[in-house]
Amino acid sequence: MGSERHELSLGTPASIPLTTRAAERLPALSRPTAVPRPARARVQAVLRPAFAVVGLGMLVLLVRDVGAGELRRVLSRAAPWLPLVFALEVARLSLDALATWVAYGSRAQQVPFRSMLRAQLISTVVATLAPAGRVAGEATKAALVSPYTGGATAMAAAATSQAAALVSTGLISIPCALAAYVMTGPSWLTLALGVHMVVLVLVGASMRAGMRAHRLGAWLKRRFHRIAPHTEVFQESARSCALLPARPILATLLGRVLQVVQYGILAMAVGIDVTVVGALVAQGLNLVALAVGTLVPGQFGVSDGAFALSAKAFGTTAAKAMSIALIAHVIQVLFVLMGALTPLVWRERRTPAPNRT
């Protein structure tokens, strides 16, 4: 629940990182020959486990400080609400799958939506645990459905979906920032959400512009002759919809609205008198935790600390505020397990479309 992270990358064909298995499913476009591992990737490979340990350590300290017994009582009270929160998360992930599906534009009908749903479940594991978060998750979806349309088209749809996610997250930050101002005044949370909104919308729009830029495409074709045909298909796919494609943005935005409802229900479930403003602030805290805890798998410890520190703003105890994040982690772990089991229990029989590029 809210596990994906919105790392920023240019929307060129080779800009979205792939897991090893995912990369094997795509054409040479996504697998340059004998390219050394970037220094940034090596640093992330070291830092991510270290931050995971730090995050879990923070979580243990928070639980000890708040009181394990008090947390247990609060979580027991919230247990009956878990099925509803789970159902909302299913709906949210379905909207994410829909966003990627409609990003294919006129070629969406070539990709069965059930295949996209399956890819969405599998990519949830990658989006939660991989160093590149949602970017790697979108690349995984592209790899899994690329036999239907070809790698270049699939990568263009994945990049478009990623850009739409950035823009929609920036848009939902607007009411969250306004709610934070109503509840906390000109606080660090209000400022952080304002900056969050501006940065994500600008980067999402810039990413789409880069995907469509003629000069960039021409440079790539001159510089990398082997991927020239794929670059051309990639850019044709990127130009098949508007600079800011309405349908993918709307789908991901509706997913974020559902997440606001989720956090409102979680707050009510743990015993907090919640309002629309409170639900938006809770979502705002989640968005800030996602941005700050990029290198921490699942934001364990980061989101919990953010909610615990904001207990006063909610007019409640640290145990109740922190329980919101803890229940979100429970839902998140359930979906990671489901995604890990999906390839074993959901076998796909498909007939790839001819003339794939």
Q: Where are the domains of the chain?
A: 82-274+328-345
Report the pLDDT averaged over residues 284-305. 68
Nearest to 11 by CA among 218, 155, 221: 155
Give how far the C-alpha of residue 281 lies from the chain's centroid of Cα atoms, to the nearest Å.
Answer: 19
Task: Write the pLDDT tens digit of every residue in 193-206.
Answer: 999 999 999 999 99
Asked whether residue 8 carries a pLDDT value surpassing 70, the answer given is no
Q: What is the mean pLDDT of the chain?
A: 77
pTM score, whole prediction = 0.75
So what's the pLDDT on residue 229?
Answer: 72
So what's the pLDDT on residue 17?
Answer: 42
pLDDT grade for 269, boundaries at 50, 70 and 90: confident
Task: Write the pLDDT tens digit of every residue in 226-252.
Answer: 766 777 788 888 888 888 999 999 999
Asked whether residue 78 carries a pLDDT value surpassing 90, the answer given is no
Contact 48, 232 (CB under 8 A): no
So what's the pLDDT on residue 118?
Answer: 94
- Per DSSP, helices labelled H in the chain are 20-24, 39-66, 68-78, 82-102, 113-129, 134-149, 151-184, 188-212, 214-223, 228-238, 246-269, 276-292, 302-309, 311-314, 318-345
Write out the two tokens for 320: 């109740």
Nearest to 210 by CA among 149, 145, 171, 166: 166
